[in-house]
Structure 1
């Protein structure tokens, strides 16, 4: 056994994060580490990586008792962590990032020839076809991830922890990553693979461990279990998997119409995705799915409709009236809300309280005529949506950054529910949240549609689009390539529309 953690406990003020947890990883093994948001996974991995110290328990590495006082000590022992949010320096080269703080050469001078030779060899091992002199800021997300893996290999790591490594990758990039991980296994490296995408566990992993509420819930060989069994271990109950809903609440009344929305690429932003003559109607009570591969222009379309990005041509019609939306403030005034793809960077104020994050779009409703905020109304709003959405929190004064990913997403949804929007655009509604919270978010979106809210759901997961949407638009390279009803939709048909276009999808 390469790694054995026994009886690990960790307590924070008022919270017992881990309670006598046991965790083991074999030699040359790909081990899935699973659990709902808030189950204790991050805390255990921080202890393993040297970022936190346990209150109790022991760690053995290759049969030797060890303790890690810092991440540097863990790295020296052969344990490397690749976080979901990369730790690369964008204004440094690939080579400088791979060997940062460990550059070959004398104490005073770096041997750049040796630095680039060693980096080139490591890049070849992970399949990164980039010059060691390339700037990291010019690399794609998948390429930056390869740099992180190359850095881990440069440390002669025996165990690599990968936290949600596929969350921002296309399917082709995921397959390449899996090939790299399998190659690491053949070289004798073990991998702890943290993911909420259970299909990836069965495609890649040898064994699994599940935590629930800071305790062991189960472990075993992946080949000897099922998706349903792992979900029961994670949430302690049976959860309905993503199935196509039986009832539609769409009405003939049009909530919003988009006509000829177009945007040209600017010379100042050569990487921006162009939009070409995008037109569609969205009905009250309808859930409209938007499907497309990375770079299709789905998020760019949503941001243009919401006024976050300018567009060159096109018209927006809300409740039958043409509207001019040049900023998010205009969109909010017209009853349009946006839950963005990156909730931490674009939606939440992580260092502020839940109450502030939840009420910030509804200040007019909870303020007096003189413009003063009513604390009583704000508290009532927080309690209303805390109960309605089953948000797990200590109080409205708790920092939103301390919530799990699923509960953070519910806070963002509560913000727009409180505004009572006509139209709600939700970009990647369940990215980075566990299966139990995913089902809760799906049910919430369906209940919102039932009240007459028109919803646009943008998702990279075809099962999610197929389970939620009444109608699905597909996009490719800034164009709408097709429209299918729920009855007509299938993964094969959508993928054809997303990759080739309408000519081949009939």
Structure 2
């Protein structure tokens, strides 16, 4: 590895009205290394990368950026890319309707006599795809490939721009285990070719596996840089730096108070919304008791979300057959309004597009699923709306100057708390949480686990769908496993381990 420094960010300070997002942050990256940036949500990681890539142009922050030995002053993304710095954001910036080749060379097309040379576009695309291990036709539309492959298209696009420093913001947040591992292997391959990477991630096990050094940012300040090999860094050491204390346990202590079965789904079968003969839920049966936290484990695409959404007022797929019982009586949940009426709530895994209206403020979002509760005549009582939102802000410890703030301005963890508040306001009997802590740091996770446990202690049933097995093991009283749309097993908290769950998550019903 070449040991000279490729990037130095010196004393970077960035302020927004009323908030100092970055306070004198310094960072240096060695050529040909993978440098991780860790910190809780709202610590300033993404802001720092936006300063580096010119999203926040020179002049809007104080401090210096030195890249490849000279000071740089980027006025926009184009100028940072021209220097060889490419950022891949968590929300991928691809155009779904265009092909892989068109996305890779968009705005950068090779031309011949002023006309796009499509033969060259396609042959260059094949070459770049081979470098990232993507086997598709260059003409395939981006919307027809999975998120893991889309991530590879973004990296191929970066390679087409002769990248020297690649910044990846939460690159594996939406990926399953094998896609995540492929991406980490690819980063290691880029490192061996001398390309430096900066990686922002909440997945500490991946950071421990792949990073050469780690800079920890807390409350807008750079706290320390750890060298993984020399400093004997493990997950607990990273957490200590991130939260400023040792987390004795990642889950609050909890003694469940479990009552009777009150919710039951029998023989639930649902068809794919677009593919006629494909089933996304196959004859599924499960129960939930009062005061119980029930986990659903399965690999990406196993059908966990499809099951949850189809039970929640048939909001996914084509219902084929099945029954739902609540307190021993069969109930009909033909639409979302009926599901809410019968005491169900569903917190989606995709909070940005399905859970929140990013144009709304916090108070409007909090009351959105139960407006009749604060409506007088036909008018929403604005005072009452404020009081309700303020109560949830305090009880969930949502970090915001005011409930009049737009939800778009909040960090991921705080957005998730607003979504939870919205559904808690409907006072549900059964709360279904789909990936409740995706993209959220360890400190905020701990708080959300506490909220989930408090809801169960009020006698509610809680279903938690999560891709993180340690999370399910730490939180659930009982866990169901799903594989290819079928429930393959049911394991009590005492019997469950990562190994036993993984076996059931990758096996059809016969072994259960």
How would you bin the TM-score normalised by the shorter chain?
over 0.9
Deviates more, 1:377-386 or 1:405-414: 377-386
Q: State the distance in 1 between where 2:157 and 2:276 align.
A: 30
Q: How many residues align?
A: 502
Partner of 2:127: 121
1:403-450 per-position Cα deviation (integer Å, ceiling 9, x unaligned): 110011111111111221100000001001111001111111011101
Residue aligning to 1:410: 417
- 1:29 is aligned to 2:33: yes
Provide the residue aligned with 1:469 in structure 2: 476
Unaligned stretches of 5+ residues in structure 2? none
Does residue 366 of structure 2 align to residue 358 of structure 1? Answer: yes
- Tell me the distance in 2 between the aligned counterparts of 1:272 and 1:38: 42
Match of 1:316 in 2: 324
Q: Is 1:19 aligned with 2:27?
A: no
Whole-angstrom CA distance in 1 between matches of 2:119 and 2:148 = 26
Shift of 1:327: 1.2
CA distances 1:153-187 after superposition (whole Å, capped 9, x unpaired): 01000000001111111111111111111100011
Q: CA deviation at 1:241?
A: 3.6
Contact 2:53 2:87 in 1 (8 A): yes
Q: Is the 8 A contact 1:98 1:151 kept in 2?
A: yes
What is the match of residue 242 of structure 1? 250
**Counterpart position of 1:46:** 50
The secondary structure found in structure 2 opposite 1:289 is strand
Q: Which residue of 1 is the match for residue 428 of structure 2?
A: 421
- Whether contact under 8 Å (1:482, 1:501) holds in the other structure is no
The question of 1:335 aligning with 2:339 is answered no
Is the 2:252–2:450 Cα contact (8 Å) retained in structure 1? no
The range that moved more, 311-320 or 399-408, is: 311-320
Distance in 2, Cα, partners of 1:62 & 1:269: 52
Deviation, structure 1 residue 246: 5.2
- Separation in structure 1 between the aligned mates of residue 387 and residue 277 of structure 2, nearest angstrom: 45
Match of 2:190 in 1: 184
Q: Is 2:465 the counterpart of 1:458? A: yes
Residue among 281, 288, 303 paired with 1:297: 303
Q: 2:292 aligns with which of 283, 286, 289?
A: 286
Q: Secondary structure at the match of 1:149?
A: helix
Query: In 2, Cα distance between the equivalents of 1:155 and 1:217?
Result: 33
- How far off is 1:324 after superposition? 1.0
Deviation at 1:269, TM superposition (A): 3.7
User: Are 1:133 and 2:142 counterparts?
Assistant: no
Please point out which of 173, 191, 199 is paired with 1:193. Answer: 199
> 8 Å contact 1:104–1:110 — kept in the other structure?
yes
The correspondence of residues 132-211 of structure 1 with structure 2, limited to 5 A, is: 132-211=138-217
TM-score where L is the length of structure 1: 0.96
Distance 1:271 1:242 in 2: 43
Point out where structure 1 has 5 or more consecutive residues left out of the alignment.
none
How far residue 319 of structure 1 moved from its aligned partner, in angstroms, is 2.1
Partner-residue secondary structure (3-state), 1:85? coil
**Could you state the TM-score of these two structures normalised by the residue count of structure 2?**
0.95
Alignment partners' CA distance in 2, 1:411 and 1:175: 32
1:25-104 paired onto structure 2 within 5 Å: 25-53=29-57, 54-104=60-110
Q: Is 1:4 equivalent to 2:22 in the alignment? A: no
Of 223, 229, 234, the match for 1:226: 234
Find the aligned partners of 1:438 and 1:58 in 2 and give their Cα distance.
34
Shift of 1:245: 5.1
Match of 2:268 among 261, 271, 275: 261
CA distance in 1, matches of 2:326, 2:297: 23
User: Does residue 1:433 correspond to 2:440, yes or no?
Assistant: yes
Q: Describe the superposition over 1:282-314 as per-residue Cα deviations: whole angstroms up to 9, x where unpaired.
A: 101000000001111100000011111241101
Q: Is the deviation greater in 356-365 or in 179-188?
A: 356-365
C-alpha distance in structure 1 between counterparts of 2:265 and 2:326, whole Å:
9
- Aligned to 1:200, the other structure's residue is in SS state helix
Question: SS state of the match for residue 87, structure 2?
Answer: strand
The whole-number CA distance in structure 1 between the counterparts of 2:279 and 2:235 is: 37
